[in-house]
Amino acid sequence: MAIIGGGPGGLYAAALLKRLNPSREITVWERNPPDDTFGFGVVLSDETLGGIEHADPTVYDALRPHFTRWDDITIVHRNTRHTAGGHGFAALGRRRLLQILHTRCRELGVELRFGTEAPYPAWLCETYDLVVAADGVHSATREAYAEVFRPTVQAHRCRYIWLAADFAFDAFRFEIAETEHGVAQLHGYPYAPDASTVIVEMREEVWRAAGLDRADERESVEHCAKLFADALGGRPLRSHNSTWTTFRTVVNERWSHGNLVLLGDAAHTAHFSIGSGTKLAVEDALALAACLEEQPDLARALTAYEAERRPVVASTQRAARASLEWFENIGFHLDQPSRQFAFNLLTRSRRVTHDNLRLRDPRFTDAVEREFGCPPGTPPMFTPFRLRGLTLRNRVVVSPMDMYSATDGVPGDVHLVHLGARALGGAGLVMTEMVCVSPEGRITPGCAGLWNSRQAEAWRRTVRFVHERAPGTAIGVQLGHSGRKGSTRVMWEGIDEPLDADNWPLTAASPIPYKPGSQTPRALSRAQLTDIRLQFTAAAGRAARSGFDLLELHCAHGYLLSGFLSPLTNRRTDRYGGPLDHRLRFPLEVFDAVRAVWPEERPMTVRISATDWADGGTTAEDAVEIARAFAAHGADAIDVSTGQVVADEHPEYGRSYQTPFADRIRHQVGVPTVAVGAISSWDDVNSLILAGRTDLCALGRPHLYDPHWTLHAAAEQGYEGPGVAWPSPYLAGRRRPTTGRTDAPKPRLTLS
């Protein structure tokens, strides 16, 4: 077996493989000398250490005396220090880790070749039974077979430098420096009784403005020490061939090719702010060794290794990306109260949550809640929120969900039961599906409308039920027009697929079909734009008379108004096309017309797609300007979704994956936001609200699974305050039913 790369992952893989089968001949090539390493300290989780202890107690016993352990994380923000405990870290020097692994490999008979470039991978693959490429983020092996592994390497916006201090921090420390050039941050943690790792990070433009692109190593070290003199107590920093670099996220479509397999940073990277690089590499080594033992041949072993590790790595990379982007955009959050800022930082990756942090440090979490304004015993999600003349009793919104069950646009019993059940379920606001302003504006034949009085009367029935039977719950209507995405089948018969018969003609900003096989729409004329604007205002008037509490204008997901906003779908050459301020004109004209007929005291929101997830489309920066424009015209909140604008999109899915867009708009524009997208637990809602990343959370699928999601969230948290109300017929259900027998005697003695 040949292993390319003598970092922790490669060395640990060599030791495990040799220990499991001493007859194996294993050679490790490392181009650097044995004591030449980047970085200073590495962090390992208890989970990873448990795996090491189980797989090779000798290595674990050698590591254990050198661990530096601590529980606290300290955040210093504008000279205010907050500490949260209960986190549990273990770290040791990277050089010490490598020395222990060198010793273990030699004891087992692994051949270590330092200061030696590995032979070309093709020769190794012909000569050895297994070749493990553990040659890091810049893996030459991976690049040699790039057409097979199909790597994606993405550089990010910050520069960072890896340094050390000759004293031990008393906690994992984050400190923020606001300079004349911009924001810099320190990530520091102890890895020995007399040493700490110090990483200094800042945006590329800040780095250049500070002149650090022209500084040598000594000047950079001195600059960082001066920048964070308070954190360092005036002590110097030291380096080891340290240079400013840009973090690169590595993703590979495949991890193996024949008898060649990638491991550690060669296969994947995750940002250092969640301390994952060495951890992932060591866990890769554990999994690879186990799969080689468990599977009958090499091919199945490598397939099993990738199948086991890929989901774990993908989850870690999502968390790492969330953390990385939070630090890239740290300037958005600096004006938060210092304790809320600390909570926001601690929960940035979504792996630490409100409930998790309460378990770790209830005193800190209670203090954040008090500062936020939570009454005693009130979870953040059950605090009220005011939009214009409407006060929502809690922060939960039932997302618009198309039922595709209307007849001639008239909502029926399905809509009454769907919306009524979820209103009884305790949410602060229940939203209708997209209600179409004309027959031609429907997505499918089953879509509901508000283009005539019969439809308005049917909606009035549902609104009346919500107001009478679920007092305290507001109901909102979402108005929209399908544009080029209309005349399609209902979802369960083929989403976005054209009807087989009885199609109606489509109109849009530009004559571009949604996808191959879709109907090509006609570009709207000026007269047609006027007609559509009147259709929106007429529908809004009917919605007001039906008694809806809130109106949302649908400018997302590639429907008509969204089609004007995106440069991928708007190719017009008149005053409604071209630069963003021109593409905004028609949606803003519709908004102004609707706002003029919508009752003054009732709020209006706008749903947007904050990114098209496609090259050349709407960007996060564009979304900020779109939100700013609608807010300037009187929008009371922006409902921040993403995508579904073009068929060829590449979303970056994950838990709460759209929330950063809402967060950015909230802080840059200063307008309330509604966050949507894979928010699935009440813990997520509490975390997002308390961190100040959004004001309201809209949930769709969880409410399909459980119409009484909000009531159950209150019961599970032991909350019985005014933020939620159980309907009188349901009062007996306020306690979770018991399951199974609870009266069995407890065992007292164990007899052999």
The tokens for 403 are 């039922």
For strands 522-523 and 507-508, give the pairing. Answer: parallel
Please answer whether residues 198 and 237 qualify as being in contact, where contact means their C-beta atoms are separated by less than 8 angstroms: yes
Three-class secondary structure of residue 14 per DSSP = helix
| Backbone dihedral angles phi then psi of residue 491, each to the nearest 5 degrees | -55, -45
**Percentage of the chain exceeding pLDDT 70:** 98
Q: Is the pLDDT of residue 111 over 90?
A: yes
In this prediction, residue 745 carries a pLDDT of: 65
Mean pLDDT (the chain) is 94
In this prediction, residue 742 carries a pLDDT of: 59
Superfamily classification of domain 2-330 = FAD/NAD(P)-binding domain (3.50.50.60)
Residues 6 or more apart whose Cβ sits within 8 Å of residue 701 = 680
Give 320-376 as a DSSP string.
Answer: HHHHHHHHHTGGGGTTS-HHHHHHHHHTTTSSS-HHHHHHH-HHHHHHHHHHHTPPT
Mean pLDDT for the stretch of residues 106-122: 96
Nearest to 605 by CA among 582, 583, 630, 622: 630
Report how far residue 730's alpha carbon sits from residue 749's, in angstroms, rounded to the nearest whole number.
Answer: 43
Q: What is the pLDDT of residues 496-540, one digit of tens each?
A: 898 989 999 999 999 999 999 999 999 999 999 999 999 999 999
Q: Is the pLDDT of residue 751 over 60?
A: no
Q: Is the pLDDT of residue 627 over 90?
A: yes
Banded model confidence at residue 752, pLDDT cuts 50, 70, 90? very low
Provide, for the chain, the percentages of residues in helix, strand and coil under a 3-state DSSP scheme, each rounded to the nearest 5.
40, 20, 40
Report how far residue 278's alpha carbon sits from residue 95's, in angstroms, rounded to the nearest whole number.
Answer: 13
Mean pLDDT for the stretch of residues 180-197: 96
Neighbours of 276 (CB within 10 A): 24
In this prediction, residue 212 carries a pLDDT of: 97
Superfamily classification of domain 338-499+506-723 = Aldolase class I (3.20.20.70)
Q: Of all helices (H) and strands (E), which one includes residue 42?
A: strand 41-44
Catalytic residue among 160, 559, 576, 657: 559
Three-class secondary structure of residue 665 per DSSP = helix
Q: Of all helices (H) and strands (E), which one includes residue 553?
A: strand 550-555
Amino acid at 619: T
Measured CA to CA in angstroms, residue 85 lies from 72, 169, 691, 752 at distances of: 4, 15, 18, 43
Q: What is the pLDDT of residues 585-605, one digit of tens each?
A: 999 999 999 999 999 999 999
The tokens for 71 are 């529980």
Alpha-carbon torsion (227, 231, 235, 240), positive or negative: negative
In this prediction, residue 124 carries a pLDDT of: 97
Please answer whether residues 691 and 353 qualify as being in contact, where contact means their C-beta atoms are separated by less than 8 angstroms: no
Report how far residue 157's alpha carbon sits from residue 247's, in angstroms, rounded to the nearest whole number.
Answer: 8
Mean pLDDT for the stretch of residues 117-138: 96
Q: Is the pLDDT of residue 744 over 80?
A: no
With 0-12 CB in 10 A as exposed, 13-18 as middle and 19+ as buried, what is 33?
exposed
With 0-12 CB in 10 A as exposed, 13-18 as middle and 19+ as buried, what is 742?
exposed
Q: What is the pLDDT of residues 306-335, one digit of tens each?
A: 999 999 999 999 999 999 999 999 999 999
Residues 6 or more apart whose Cβ sits within 8 Å of residue 727 = 424, 469, 470
Residues 6 or more apart whose Cβ sits within 8 Å of residue 442 = 409, 436, 449, 482, 486, 487, 504
Mean pLDDT for the stretch of residues 135-141: 96
Q: Is the pLDDT of residue 125 over 90?
A: yes
Q: What is the CA radius of gyration of the chain?
A: 29
Ordered by start, the domain boundaries in the chain are 2-330, 338-499+506-723
Q: Is 559 a catalytic residue?
A: yes
| Backbone dihedral angles phi then psi of residue 3, each to the nearest 5 degrees | -125, 120
Q: What is the pLDDT of residues 14-49, one digit of tens each?
A: 999 999 999 999 999 999 998 776 668 988 877 778
Q: Tokens 């734009």 sit at which residue? A: 529
In three-state form (DSSP H/G/I as H, E/B as E, the rest C), the secondary structure along 181-250 is CEEEEEEEEEEECCEEEEEEEEEHHHHHHCCCCCCCHHHHHHHHHHHCHHHHCCCCCECCCCCCEEEEEE
In this prediction, residue 88 carries a pLDDT of: 84
